[in-house]
């Protein structure tokens, strides 16, 4: 195995999905000097994704974290496209689509025929789906790894690195190099279990808060204030669920419950009803709170 100093930088990155997570991944890659191709399903979605990136870059410049030159250079490195074939020459592809197992498995199956380099790393930003399920949809499971970023990607320093039973040592080392050395992220390594480290701990906490609110035990404000003022959390659990997205929280909970069959992972009825109603949190303007 080569030493860290022998690992080559990634230079051409593909990001599939330009939602909250995908746009953030694309932004940090471009700011780090990598040519970044972002794939979205339609021109309208691509335009919305680019607007999201522009807004984030502007916030960084206003906060004094980026210069105008940094922003212009990053903007020039980002290319939007609607065709997966544009990823054919990427040396790293990061999938950041909806947290749906069937959709992700189907996408990884397609990537096998699209990404030309046999050494290219195929990564998923999934927050809960076991990496092995995605790896086995490809013709190169040893190149598949989980690189789980946290929202907002340009602000939060953490990345979870998740390897399956098939992930090669080389793939793991290259993914770690990308996150640590190229993006200056802090990396923690997890085994390939649904939810990994952070969500396996976080989701039961969020679900417990939803059950408490659903039962009438306490108001949403008091639940959130209790954890902020009493436990020094930066944000209460119900506001955090709104930030994450109720649909994403639901999907992660379902993935955890499917794997472990433990009641603490079972989604509360209120969460299911709110998802069915389209009350998904900040991204829809209403969840437990209105925005």
Residue 148 known to be catalytic = yes
Query: Active-site residue among 27, 40, 124, 148?
Result: 148
Residue of 56, 124, 125, 127 marked active site: 127
Q: Tell me how many degrees the CA angle 203-129-199 measures, rounded to the nearest 5.
A: 20
- For the sheet with 158-162, list strands across it: 78-81, 35-39, 12-16, 92-95, 121-124, 144-149, 158-162, 186-190
- Strands 158-162 and 144-149, by their bridges, are antiparallel
Catalytic residue among 27, 40, 99, 160: 160
Q: What is the DSSP letter of 68?
A: H
Instruction: Look up 160 and say whether it is catalytic.
Output: yes
Residue 126 neighbours by CB under 8 Å, 6+ apart: 95, 99, 104, 134, 146, 148
| Active-site annotation holds for 199 | yes
- Of these residues, 56, 124, 199, 255, which one is catalytic? 199
Cα separation of the two ends of the chain: 50
Catalogue the active-site residues.
127, 148, 160, 199
């Amino acid at each position: 195995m080569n030493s860290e100093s022998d690992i080559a930088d990634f230079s051409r990155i593909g990001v599939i999905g330009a939602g909250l997570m995908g746009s953030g991944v694309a932004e940090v890659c471009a700011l780090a000097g990598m040519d970044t191709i972002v794939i979205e399903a339609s021109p309208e979605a691509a335009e919305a994704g680019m607007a999201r990136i522009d807004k984030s870059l502007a916030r960084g410049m206003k906060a004094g974290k980026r210069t105008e030159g940094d922003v212009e250079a990053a903007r020039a490195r980002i290319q939007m496209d609607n065709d997966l074939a544009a990823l054919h020459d990427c040396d790293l592809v990061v999938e950041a689509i909806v947290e749906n197992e069937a959709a992700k498995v189907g996408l990884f199956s397609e990537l096998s025929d699209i990404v030309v380099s046999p050494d290219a790393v195929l990564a998923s930003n999934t927050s809960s789906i076991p990496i092995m399920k995605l790896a086995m949809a490809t013709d190169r499971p040893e190149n598949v790894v989980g690189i789980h970023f946290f929202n907002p990607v340009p602000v939060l320093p953490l990345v979870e690195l998740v390897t399956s039973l098939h992930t090669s040592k080389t793939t793991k080392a290259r993914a770690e190099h990308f996150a640590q050395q190229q993006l200056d992220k802090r990396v923690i390594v997890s085994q390939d279990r649904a939810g990994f480290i952070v969500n396996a701990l976080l989701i039961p906490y969020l679900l417990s808060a939803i059950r408490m609110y659903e039962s009438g035990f306490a108001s949403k404000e008091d639940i959130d204030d209790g954890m902020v003022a009493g436990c020094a959390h930066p944000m209460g659990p119900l506001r955090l669920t709104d930030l994450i997205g109720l649909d994403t929280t639901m999907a992660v909970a379902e993935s955890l419950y499917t794997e472990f069959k433990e009641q603490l992972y079972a989604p509360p009825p209120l969460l299911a009803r709110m998802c069915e109603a389209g009350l998904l949190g900040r991204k829809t303007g209403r969840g437990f709170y209105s925005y």
